[in-house]
Amino acid sequence: MQKITPFLWFDQQAEEAALFYTGIFKDSEVVSISRYGDGAPMPKGTVMTAKFILEGQEFVALNGGPHFTFNPAISFVVNCDSQQEVDYYWEKLLDGGTESQCAWLTDRFGVSWQIVPQALIRYLNDPDPVKAQRVMMAMMQMIKIDIATLDRAYQGL
């Protein structure tokens, strides 16, 4: 049992979201679906929760109605090893969503994601502040992160 589980409140899209996310991430699955019964705040038989796993991380999605919505104050970071991985997750999670800047996007359900190549983290943590600043300035001009552009900024080209 995992000690902390992200619990995501949806209006009525919990199952749809669980299926969407498990269709994108490897080593993922919908573990269980529970449904509302008689006397519940939603019609009997409506999905109440969808428990799913993405890359070993357990999540629970709740159909709780329109009372609460997501905002970018909380986001999920997807750590990527290559541009191919950045492009894959960006394209898949952005489907029906909106781009922001500096690696951020909001998916079709309103959940915020950061698609971050490890090269960016490595460069920003470089002990040479001039190199790190060049990379930061390059990143601030981007929407989706482009590793080749970060490489050039790091090298001062």
10-68 pLDDT, tens digit each: 999 999 999 999 999 999 999 999 999 999 989 999 999 999 999 999 999 999 999 99
Residues of the chain with CATH 3.10.180.10: 75-155
Provide the whole-model pTM.
0.94
Q: Averaged over 60-78, what is the pLDDT?
A: 96
Q: Where in the chain is the domain with CATH 3.30.720.100?
A: 7-63
Q: Look at residue 86 in the predicted model and tell me its pLDDT.
A: 98
Return d(Cα 127, Cα 85) in angstroms, integer.
27
Mean pLDDT of 86-110: 97
Q: What is the enclosing helix (H) or strand (E) of 90?
A: helix 83-94
The two tokens of residue 6 are 């992200």
Per-residue pLDDT, averaged over 129-145, amounts to 98
pLDDT at position 22: 98
State yes or no: pLDDT of 1 exceeds 90: no
| Per-residue model confidence (pLDDT) at position 58 | 97
Is 51 in contact with 6 (CB distance < 8 Å)?
Answer: no
The domain defined by 7-63 folds into: 3.30.720
Contact 18, 30 (CB under 8 A): yes
Percent of the chain with pLDDT over 70: 100
CATH homologous superfamily of 75-155 equals: 2,3-Dihydroxybiphenyl 1,2-Dioxygenase, domain 1 (3.10.180.10)
